[in-house]
Chains A and B, each alone.
Chain A
Amino acid sequence: MTDDSHQEDDSYGRYERGDAYDGHETDDASDSHQTDRDHQSTDPAGDTTTGGNLATDGGEIDPVTLEVLRNAFATVAEEMSANLIRTSYSPNIKERKDASSAVFDARGRMLAQAENIPVHLGAMPHSVRTVVEAFEGAFEPGDTVIHNSPFSGGAHLPDITFVSPVFVDGKLVAYVANRAHHADVGGSLAGSVSADATSVFAEGIQIPPVKLFERGEIVDGVLDLLTENVRTPDEREGDLRAQQAANETGRQRFEALVEKHGRETVEAVADRVLDYSERRMREEVRDLADGVYEFADALDSDGAGAEDVTIRATVTIDGSSIAVDFAGSAQQVAGAVNAPIAVTTSATYYALRAVTDPDIPPNQGCYRPFSVSAPEGTVVNACKPAAVVGGNLETSQRIVDTVLGAMAEAGVRSIAAAANGSMNNVTFGSADSTLTDPYTFYETIGGGYGARPERDGVDGVHAHMTNTQNTPIEALELAYPLRVERYELRPDTGGAGEFRGGLGIRRDIRVLGHDASFSLLSDRRRNRPYGLDGGQPGATGEDRVVIDGEERHIDSKTTLELSDGDLVSVRTPGGGGFGPPEDRSLAAITRDLEDGRLTAEHVAEHYPHYDGE
């Protein structure tokens, strides 16, 4: 899946042999030299002690300018994100911070990213590349191109990406981009997170690269086309304008940088910033044990009949490079859990960053040592018209579990057993005529974190690909005709181990005085989160509804109509344990019993060495 040729230009990744996607701009698995036309790069293989290189090679860029401008690039992205989050309309972006921003050079290489959610990591560069390819030569100052197509860099339809060129003295010097999750982009279900979609057409409006702003003016027709296709047009327009304002901020800030430091310096530093991150990442990878490591895990179902949807990763660590191949994963499925390659790439990048130094500045150079490939038409490289909304939300989590599982095989020190492995997506929506306002409410619920080599898993928290905050119960009830009746940890759900997995969460919500549609998109309701090193798997989630007073179990992917008084109880999985349960200290078991995190029955079953003090 990798070739041995030297890459001419690292701005563009490539699909190879029709079945593999290679990390955007990676070097090869071997430590090849880059032979970039425009600059002479440092030797990524040879520079194990890199201190002197920066000062001496390349002449003009000293390590101080490098650090100062690297900071400045990061600041541009952070200010864009701060502005976007501050000015957006919907709680989804504002409160849950489901958005990120990035700065790209004129060749489309990502220089800095401010991400709040890892799922945007690899997807953002891919989207920008799509936009740049579509509009190369046709950009004008003040333009903004938007895009959400999952099959060319988008993740799922609710994530809309804005890309704006930055011009200085009539020359295109950079791009700024941001991506935000919109609370509704049409489709069959309010909130556009439909658990029962079987094609992308049911998931909402697809936006190919198109100019929403031309020379600073909004293109009314495009805006109308969008707002006509969504359920909450005013809110959408507010969020779209906030995204534009964020790019405007980025544009002004980058222009100021170029004016202050000069275009040539900024361009030269851009090269160095990428090389710098690459060098540091290669240092990290070199410390890992060479070898080929395999791991497989599975999604419970696709919600449309397929069960145990396998995800298999083969991780090859070779010197300073890591190749991750997903051959052997299931074919794409009818249900909405298909992951576009951009999502698979993001999840892989996340997992690899989590086991390396998190301080390495996130830019395209950081990812050069990685390559990601997956056969086309699989659940991890889905093709049109696959339904994809859950690929981003659920499959991405399983991809992380799979890659981390392989890294555990490789013996990396910084590791965790499987976390709850689902974002536990819940949507309530209603256009009931008895309500003053139709509404859509979407939230995700955390679960148990995986146990670590020296620590229990954290109870009740979001893991890996998401880190969005919950909606305060009081904020929820003030805004929607719903009542939260329970929000607490689920005892006994953490996998037993010397260090136990974290506990899942139970959240009960009742519908008040109206008819509402409800959707649950979740996983790990059958396949338990794995333990490591002798630790036991975490408990599965299990969810119930009470309709007309009758309680019943519901599937991990469910869409239902509810009415006044009906109750939904979402109970999320626990994390896997680490180390043999018989090694768990008596003090830790006693504390858990006192705290009501474990029951006496659970202890008797899983920790027989505990003699009751």
Chain B
Amino acid sequence: MTRIGVDIGGTFTDVVIVDDEGRLRGVKTPSTPEQPDDGVVDGLEQARDDGIDVADTEFLGHGTTVATNAVLEDDLPPTALVTTDGFRDVLEIGRQDRPDLYDLDFERPPPLVPRDHRLTVSERIGPDGNVVEPLRESEVAELADRLPDVDAVAVSTLFAFRNPVHERAIREGLREHGDDVAIALSSAVLPEFREYERTSTTALNAALKPRLDAYLGRLSDRTRATGIDEQWAVMQSHGGLMSVRTAREKPVNTVLSGPAAGVQGAQYLADEAGYEDIITMDMGGTSTDVSLVDGGEPSLSTDWEIAGHPLGVPTIDIHTIGAGGGSIAWIDAGGALRVGPRSAGADPGPAAYGRGGTQPTVTDAHVVLGRIHPEYPLGGDLSVDVDAAREAIERGIADELGQSVRDAAQGILEVARANMERALRVVSVEQGYDPRSFALVAFGGAGPLHAPRLGEELSIPTVLVPRLAGVLSGLGLLASDLEHAYVTSVVEPLTDVTADELRDWFAKLAAEGTETLAADGIDEASMRFERSLDLRYAGQSYSLNVPIEGDPSEETLAAATDRFHAEHEAHYGHANPDERVELVNVRLRAIGEIPSIDVRTSVEGTVRDAVLGERPVQFGDEKREVTVYEHGHLPSGGEFDGPAVVQAAESTTVVHPGQSVSVDDRGTLVITTGKT
């Protein structure tokens, strides 16, 4: 039986196939943004042509950018909003702040629903869930007539998370009208307090529904036509999968599907290497994505934004900065050397690509310093134009600063490193984590070039470079479980909460989870539920998520409280056990376990067999002859010392003097930076 992961990226659609023996094969086909399922079907057909029995598939995992692109490109269908009378503009005013303090010419992203499509009804639910003002039937009846010509309707009324009765009545009213319009209720999409974030998330969900529904429906039909009888599982922004059926209902959960799959893949390989606490760093041509995984769990955020719209559903907290291999180095008006955020992109790309780029980039600096091999460089059919790189740095930087090209190139890398260090600190130190107790996992075309030195600077003891970096997202799809996140907002002093109440809340959420997982095709033995509480000190607006072990009882409540104080101390440097603790949200993760994959390297022999040659590489003031290894040929258990260069199809790892490397049985480089 085979398992297939399909990740649609901006340029390529990756199909990753793992068979029973843990053999892994990958197929790359060009992405087809107009009709993304074409690319998927092309990939599957190519795999079949390569002799893989795709009909024998027992699992399909899918990472998709359909939702991401629709939101980023503002390519969403006409959508209406129904909300409480008096609150028509909540979606537009947002949090009333502006994105940039000093920009007099700032703009807000256009609201997801234009003002004339925002309808109101007289009704009011109170903060305790009681009906303050009932929703009149006549108003519901009229609503359908007032509805403009739209494909989707979001319904989000005040305090619906406490009592969804009015939202449901509105939905029934709209349905009776008979329109074939997609409807999303805030009480179903995100039953949490904070009306703006909930409304925005609900409006996004509504607007994405028609598109994702059509796409996933088509995809399922067409894969069935290729002989695969299996249902797709779609990656969600929080790193868990969901069935196509659920995805069609909650497409907003797929907004960060692709990057989440990458983090899951990195986490899978790091876990296999024995590291549960990692910082992932995916550095491509124009940007670097950074995220943190603590104890095997990616850091999640519930206040993520996309294109300026808040997204309240749990999302892997990925921090992106404009620093990549193509980032352009420049001298600013004050005479300082800067790198990025402008990028030469893929076309013309760095000067070294020889496609007409003349501005110096990070990649050019690596080329000048000998770190990217002239004849085995950038993946694909690109060759390296060393002279063009040198000239770009000389003209753009070195001449301006009166420096040698070598010093200028090293300067570019130092500044790029400082930018990346800042990004790493944002996800770690600023969240209360000490980066020194994490391993840094580098991937993307440029990640492994920088990570070993970056790790050293941040006193990170271990840097991991996966062999399978090119198919990390695809692997992530095969190494994840089905998972659904459920939440109930409580916002009450914890002392007022009884164990019975807690049991009831969890039971209700677990029933929902069981139902959804069962519909996803998961049997009960493979279901697992993780319970947690969002707690805070009364008066605080941020909460900490604290797990509840076992069946909720007075003891587990007390244990959770103790744990909250301890976590508060750990994250924030102080705790106050006398202070009143408030229960904000009750959360449940319903997990449907998927059998894990096992992809070991089959390479045998010694590290000597992987040597490609030697070449001079500049480290500081010193030029060193270093050994160049072929990553794919390094055997499990192999060891060597830096300085060294490890070459892979799409990336180059630079191991610095004083560092050492061992290779684990998945082919991952485990680099010891010498810092502890």
Q: Interface on A for B, CB 8 Å cutoff?
A: 50-56, 62-64, 66-68, 70-72, 75, 78-79, 82-83, 86-87, 89-91, 94-95, 115-116, 118, 234-235, 238, 241-242, 245, 248, 276-277, 279-280, 283, 350, 353-355, 357-358, 360, 414-416, 445-446, 449, 452, 454-455, 458-463, 467-470, 472-475, 477-478, 483, 485-489, 505, 508, 594-597
Given A445-B96, A488-B87, the answer on whether A50 and B105 have CB atoms closer than 8 Å is no
Per the bound structure, the CA–CA distance linking A350 and B542 in Å amounts to: 30
Given A67-B415, A276-B336, A461-B93, the answer on whether A478 and B106 have CB atoms closer than 8 Å is no
Given A86-B432, A245-B574, the answer on whether A63 and B411 have CB atoms closer than 8 Å is yes
Chain B nearest CB, measured from A131 CB (Å): 23
A462 close to B96 (CB less than 8 A): yes
Chain B nearest CB, measured from A159 CB (Å): 17
Chain A nearest CB, measured from B631 CB (Å): 30
Chain A residues positioned under 8 Å from B103 (CB to CB): 354, 358
B402 close to A52 (CB less than 8 A): yes
Chain A residues positioned under 8 Å from B402 (CB to CB): 52, 55-56
A355 touches which of B104, B108, B573 (Cβ 8 Å)? B104
B401 close to A414 (CB less than 8 A): no
B193 close to A54 (CB less than 8 A): no
Is B380 on the interface with A (CB-CB < 8 A)?
no
Q: Which chain B residue shows the least CB distance to A485?
A: B86
Among B16-24, B354-362, B417-425, B548-556, the one that faces the other chain is: B417-425
What would 24 A/B residue contacts be, using CB atoms closer than 8 Å? A50-B335, A52-B402, A63-B335, A64-B414, A68-B414, A71-B419, A72-B418, A78-B430, A83-B572, A238-B579, A242-B572, A354-B103, A355-B104, A415-B104, A446-B96, A458-B98, A462-B97, A470-B96, A474-B158, A475-B193, A486-B86, A487-B86, A488-B88, A595-B116
Chain B residues positioned under 8 Å from A486 (CB to CB): 86-87
A276 close to B93 (CB less than 8 A): no
A488 close to B335 (CB less than 8 A): no
Given A56-B402, A72-B418, A445-B96, the answer on whether A472 and B102 have CB atoms closer than 8 Å is no
Chain A residues positioned under 8 Å from B105 (CB to CB): 414, 416, 452, 454-455
Is B337 on the interface with A (CB-CB < 8 A)?
yes
Q: Which chain A residue shows the least CB distance to B194?
A: A472
A446 touches which of B90, B93, B574 (Cβ 8 Å)? B93
Is B107 on the interface with A (CB-CB < 8 A)?
yes
Given A54-B401, A486-B86, the answer on whether A467 and B419 have CB atoms closer than 8 Å is no
Per the bound structure, the CA–CA distance linking A508 and B96 in Å amounts to: 16
B336 touches which of A56, A63, A454, A474 (Cβ 8 Å)? A63
B418 close to A68 (CB less than 8 A): yes
Per the bound structure, the CA–CA distance linking A357 and B102 in Å amounts to: 9
Chain A residues positioned under 8 Å from B194 (CB to CB): 472, 474-475
Per the bound structure, the CA–CA distance linking A86 and B567 in Å amounts to: 13
Q: Is the interface of B mostly helix, strand, loop or mixed?
A: loop
Chain B residues positioned under 8 Å from A461 (CB to CB): 93, 96-98, 108
The size class of the interface chain B forms with chain A is: 35 or more
Chain A nearest CB, measured from B368 CB (Å): 15
B539 close to A276 (CB less than 8 A): no
Among B165-173, B326-334, B461-469, B659-667, the one that faces the other chain is: B326-334
B418 close to A67 (CB less than 8 A): yes
* Residue interface mask B387-404, A partner, CB < 8 A = 1: 000000000000011110
Given A68-B414, A595-B115, the answer on whether A458 and B336 have CB atoms closer than 8 Å is no
Per the bound structure, the CA–CA distance linking A483 and B97 in Å amounts to: 22
Given A95-B541, A234-B579, the answer on whether A488 and B98 have CB atoms closer than 8 Å is no
Chain B residues positioned under 8 Å from A488 (CB to CB): 86-89
Chain B residues positioned under 8 Å from A91 (CB to CB): 539-541
- Residues of chain B from 401 to 447 with CB closer than 8 A to chain A in the complex: 401-403, 407, 410-411, 414-415, 418-419, 422, 425, 429-432
Chain A nearest CB, measured from B362 CB (Å): 14
Chain A residues positioned under 8 Å from B97 (CB to CB): 461-462, 467-469
Per the bound structure, the CA–CA distance linking A241 and B571 in Å amounts to: 14
Question: Which residue, B104, B105, B116, B193, has most C-beta atoms of chain A within 10 A?
Answer: B104
A470 close to B93 (CB less than 8 A): yes
Question: Which residue, A89, A415, A452, has most C-beta atoms of chain B within 10 A?
Answer: A89
* Residue interface mask B617-653, A partner, CB < 8 A = 1: 0000000000000000000000000000000000000
Is B100 on the interface with A (CB-CB < 8 A)?
yes
Chain B residues positioned under 8 Å from A56 (CB to CB): 402
- Residues of chain B from 173 to 217 with CB closer than 8 A to chain A in the complex: 193-197
B541 touches which of A475, A487, A594 (Cβ 8 Å)? A475
B195 close to A55 (CB less than 8 A): no
Per the bound structure, the CA–CA distance linking A138 and B334 in Å amounts to: 37
Q: Which chain A residue shows the least CB distance to B411?
A: A64
A55 close to B89 (CB less than 8 A): no
Chain A residues positioned under 8 Å from B333 (CB to CB): 50, 279-280, 283, 357
Chain B residues positioned under 8 Å from A489 (CB to CB): 89, 92-93
Given A53-B335, A487-B93, the answer on whether A89 and B193 have CB atoms closer than 8 Å is no
A276 touches which of B334, B400, B419 (Cβ 8 Å)? B334
Given A53-B335, A89-B537, the answer on whether A245 and B196 have CB atoms closer than 8 Å is no
Question: Which residue, B103, B337, B419, B431, has most C-beta atoms of chain A within 10 A?
Answer: B337
Given A469-B97, A478-B193, the answer on whether A354 and B104 have CB atoms closer than 8 Å is yes
Is B589 on the interface with A (CB-CB < 8 A)?
no
A67 close to B336 (CB less than 8 A): yes
Q: Which chain B residue shows the least CB distance to A437?
A: B538
Chain B residues positioned under 8 Å from A460 (CB to CB): 89, 92-93, 96
Given A71-B418, A245-B572, the answer on whether A414 and B104 have CB atoms closer than 8 Å is yes
Is B525 on the interface with A (CB-CB < 8 A)?
no
Per the bound structure, the CA–CA distance linking A469 and B336 in Å amounts to: 35
* Residue interface mask B528-560, A partner, CB < 8 A = 1: 000000000101111000000000000000000
Question: Which residue, A55, A86, A234, A462, has most C-beta atoms of chain B within 10 A?
Answer: A55
Q: Which chain A residue shows the least CB distance to B98?
A: A461
Per the bound structure, the CA–CA distance linking A353 and B410 in Å amounts to: 33
Chain B residues positioned under 8 Å from A446 (CB to CB): 93, 96
Is B95 on the interface with A (CB-CB < 8 A)?
yes
Chain B residues positioned under 8 Å from A474 (CB to CB): 127, 158-159, 161, 193-195
Is B101 on the interface with A (CB-CB < 8 A)?
yes
Chain A residues positioned under 8 Å from B400 (CB to CB): 51-52
Is B114 on the interface with A (CB-CB < 8 A)?
yes
Chain B residues positioned under 8 Å from A414 (CB to CB): 104-105
Chain B residues positioned under 8 Å from A483 (CB to CB): 126, 132
Per the bound structure, the CA–CA distance linking A248 and B336 in Å amounts to: 30
Chain B residues positioned under 8 Å from A280 (CB to CB): 332-334
Chain A nearest CB, measured from B547 CB (Å): 21
Per the bound structure, the CA–CA distance linking A468 and B541 in Å amounts to: 14
Is B338 on the interface with A (CB-CB < 8 A)?
yes
A75 close to B422 (CB less than 8 A): yes
Is B491 on the interface with A (CB-CB < 8 A)?
yes
Chain A residues positioned under 8 Å from B87 (CB to CB): 473, 486-488
* Residue interface mask B303-342, A partner, CB < 8 A = 1: 0000000000000000000000000000111111110000
Is B576 on the interface with A (CB-CB < 8 A)?
yes
A86 touches which of B422, B539, B572 (Cβ 8 Å)? B572
